[in-house]
Amino acid sequence: MPLSRRELLKLGLLAAPGAALGRYAEAQVGDPGSPPVIPFTRQLRIPPNITPSGGGGPNVTLTMSESTQAIVPGRPDTPIWGYNGQYPGPTIRARRNQSIVVRQINNLPESTSVHLHGGHTGPTSDGHPNDLITPGNQKDYTYPNSQLPATLWYHDHAVDVTGPHLYMGLAGMYIIGETFEDNLNLPGGPLDDVNLDVPLFLSDRLFNRDGSFAYPLTDEALIRGALGDRIMVNGVIQPNFRVPSRKVRFRVVNASNARIYDLRLTNGAPFIQLGSDGALLPAPLSRTSLRLAPAERADVVIDFTGMTIGTMVVMRNVSRSVPLSMDRAPREIMRFEVDRTQADTSVIPPALRPITPLGAAAQTRVANLTRGVVNGRPVWFINGKLYNPGQSEFTMVAQGSTELWQFNNNSPQDHPMHIHLVQFQVQNPGVGENGWKDTVLVPSGATVSVKAQFTGTAGTYVFHCHNVEHEDHAMMNQFELMA
C-alpha cells in the first residue's frame, strides 16, 4: 500500500531520531547503566495534592518544566520533565460535576499536549496529539468532570514523542470525588483518615551511568516497548511505605510505557478492588492477583488489620509478559511496613455502584492489530494504517449511539487498547467484572470486544495502543463523533 507523506515523515523520524530523542537516548538496552539499589531502603513519596480553586478559571495552573529529582541512590540530580517540575506531577482532586479549567504552561524545549486519560472532555481539551502547546506557550483545558468519580491520570500526548515525554516524567494523577462516595465511609475517605487514600504510580526505567533516564531506541524497544530494569513507585525505586495495622486505600496507576504487571502480596492477602479505570465496581472484588496493563488503574484496599508492628508485606510483580530470560527488572516492587496501630471505623460496603449493561449496539467497528516492517524498522498498524491526523478510520459515530468495537490482535505482542472520550464495557466472558474501563489488554492472538455509548462534543478523538512506543510508531487512529 502506498505510504502517505505523513507516514514517510514518521519513518524519517524512525530512521534518524531527532535531537530531542537523542538527548535521552545515548544508552541503549544492554548498557549496564542502571544503579545498584538496595530494595526498600527509601520511603515512598506522596505527590502533593491540588484542590482546584473555586470561581472563574484557571482553577489549577501547572508548569511543565525541566528539573532534577533524587531518584538514583547517592545522586540528587536525575533530570526530569515534570508538571510543576515534579514526577509524578501533583494529584489533582476534582469533584463530580464541578467543571474546572487547568492552565498548562509549557516551559519545556519541546511541544507538548496534555491529555486527561479517562476524562470525558471536549475535543479541544482532550490533548489531541496534534493540538500542541509550543515551547513558551500555554493552553487552558476545560474538564467538566461530568462523569462517574474515578481514578484518572493526566500525561503528555504529543504526536510521535509521547513515549520519551512520558519517560521523562510528564504524568500525574487526577481523582474525581463526590458526596455519594464520601458517604460510603470507605478507607481513606473524608469520614476517615484521608492520608490513607494513597496514590501508587508504577513505572519502570533504564538509567545512564550519570543518573539520567536512558530511553531505548532499539528495534527491540519498538517491538516490546521501552522496558526498564528498575521499577519505581511514585518516582522512588522500590520504596518502603509505613502503614497502620488497618485498612488502607490505594489508587494504583500503571504509568509505565510498556510494562504489564501482575501484582501479588507476599502474605497471600488479596487486593480488595473497589474500582477500575472509570468508576467504582458494582461490588468489591477480592483478587489475590491484580493485572494492570499500561494506563489501566485499580482502586484497591489492602487490609493490614491484625498485623503486628514490624510486619513486612512485599508487593511483587509475577507477570511473565516479558519472557523471564530477557527481563532485567526485579520482581519486588515495594514493601509495606506495619509501624503503628490506628483506629479504623471505615467500611467496605457489600455494594458500591450498580452498573447497567449497555443495550444492543447500533454499529460494529473492527480494528485489526498487526505488526509490519517499513524501511527495515518495526511499525504497528491498525487496519493496515499508521497514524495520520488527516484521516479517521471510524467516521459517523452517531451522537448517543452504542457501538461495539472489536479489537483483533493478529500480532505477536499484547496491545492495551484505549479509546478517548468514553468508558466502555468489555464484552468477553469473565472480563465484564472489570466494570467501566477505557483501556483493555488485547492479548496476542485474541479478540476483545467492548461496548460504549458515544456522547459528548462533536469532533475528532483518537484511539490507540497504550504501549506508548507502539502508539508513537504509529498504532493510533481517530474517530469522528457527530453532532
Binding site residues, ligand C2O, CB under 6 A:
115, 117, 155, 157, 295, 418, 420, 462, 464, 466
Q: Of 10, 45, 117, 224, which lies in the binding site for Cu ion, with binding defined by CB under 5 A?
A: 117
Contact criterion met (CB below 8 Å) for 65 and 84: yes
Please say which residue, 264 or 470, places its beta carbon nearer to ligand C2O. Answer: 470
Please say which residue, 152 or 285, places its beta carbon nearer to ligand C2O. Answer: 152
What's the min distance (Å) between Cβ of 126 and ligand C2O?
8
What's the min distance (Å) between Cβ of 112 and ligand C2O?
14
Q: Of 467, 476, 477, 481, which lies in the binding site for Cu ion, with binding defined by CB under 5 A?
A: 467
Asked if 259 touches Cu ion (CB under 5 A), the answer is no
CA atoms of 83 and 80, how far apart (whole Å): 10
CA 372, 377, 378, 381 torsion-angle sign: negative
What's the min distance (Å) between Cβ of 276 and ligand C2O?
15
Q: Which partner in ligand C2O, Cu ion, none is near 464 (CB below 5 to 8 A by kind)?
A: ligand C2O
What's the min distance (Å) between Cβ of 155 and Cu ion?
8
CA atoms of 257 and 164, how far apart (whole Å): 9
For the beta sheet containing 290-292, the strands, ordered from the edge strand earlier in sequence to the opposite edge, are: 240-244, 332-340, 312-317, 261-265, 290-292
What's the min distance (Å) between Cβ of 410 and Cu ion?
12
CA atoms of 373 and 379, how far apart (whole Å): 6
Closest-CA residue to 246 (of 350, 315, 345, 351)? 345
What's the min distance (Å) between Cβ of 464 and ligand C2O?
6
| 3 state SS of 8 | helix
What's the min distance (Å) between Cβ of 52 and ligand C2O?
21
Q: Which partner in ligand C2O, Cu ion, none is near 353 (CB below 5 to 8 A by kind)?
A: none
Please say which residue, 64 or 222, places its beta carbon nearer to Cu ion. Answer: 222
Measure the CA dihedral 255/168/198/436, to 10°: -30
| 3 state SS of 163 | helix
Please say which residue, 255 or 280, places its beta carbon nearer to ligand C2O. Answer: 255
Please say which residue, 230 or 418, places its beta carbon nearer to ligand C2O. Answer: 418
Stretch that binds Cu ion, among 57-65, 210-218, 317-325, 458-466 (CB under 5 A): 458-466
Share in percent of the chain as helix, strand, coil (round to 5): 10, 40, 50
| Residue whose Cβ sits closest to ligand C2O | 117
Asked if 224 touches Cu ion (CB under 5 A), the answer is no
- For 367-436, what is the HEC assignment? EEEEEEEECCEEEEEECCECCCCCCCCEEEECCCEEEEEEEEECCCCCEEEEECCCCEEECCCCCHHHCE
Asked if 125 touches Cu ion (CB under 5 A), the answer is no
Q: Which partner in Cu ion, ligand C2O, none is near 467 (CB below 5 to 8 A by kind)?
A: Cu ion
What's the min distance (Å) between Cβ of 253 and ligand C2O?
10
Q: Of 206, 226, 274, 465, which lies in the binding site for Cu ion, with binding defined by CB under 5 A?
A: 465
Asked if 45 touches Cu ion (CB under 5 A), the answer is no
| 3 state SS of 114 | strand
Please say which residue, 117 or 259, places its beta carbon nearer to Cu ion. Answer: 117
- Site residues (CB under 5 A) for Cu ion, limited to 381-440: 415, 420
Please say which residue, 259 or 420, places its beta carbon nearer to Cu ion. Answer: 420
Residue whose entry in the numeric block shows the C-alpha cell 502474605: 267
Closest-CA residue to 44 (of 282, 292, 234)? 234
Please say which residue, 45 or 473, places its beta carbon nearer to Cu ion. Answer: 473
Backbone angles phi, psi at 25, to 5 degrees: -120, 25
Asked if 121 touches Cu ion (CB under 5 A), the answer is no
- Sorted by sequence, the CB contacts under 8 Å of residue 123 that are 6+ apart come out as 457, 458, 459, 460, 461, 481
What's the min distance (Å) between Cβ of 420 and ligand C2O?
6
Please say which residue, 153 or 207, places its beta carbon nearer to Cu ion. Answer: 153
What's the min distance (Å) between Cβ of 471 and ligand C2O?
7
Partners of 402 in the β-ladder: 453
Q: Which partner in Cu ion, ligand C2O, none is near 465 (CB below 5 to 8 A by kind)?
A: Cu ion
Angle 274-173-165 from CA coordinates, rounded to 5°: 135
Stretch that binds Cu ion, among 117-125, 203-211, 262-270, 385-393 (CB under 5 A): 117-125
Please say which residue, 346 or 477, places its beta carbon nearer to ligand C2O. Answer: 477
Q: Which partner in ligand C2O, Cu ion, none is near 157 (CB below 5 to 8 A by kind)?
A: ligand C2O
Q: Judging by DSSP bridges, how do beta strands 447-454 and 459-465 pair with one another? A: unpaired
Angle 331-336-341 from CA coordinates, rounded to 5°: 165
Contact criterion met (CB below 8 Å) for 185 and 346: yes
Please say which residue, 301 or 465, places its beta carbon nearer to Cu ion. Answer: 465
Residues near Cu ion (CB under 5 A): 117, 415, 420, 465, 467, 470
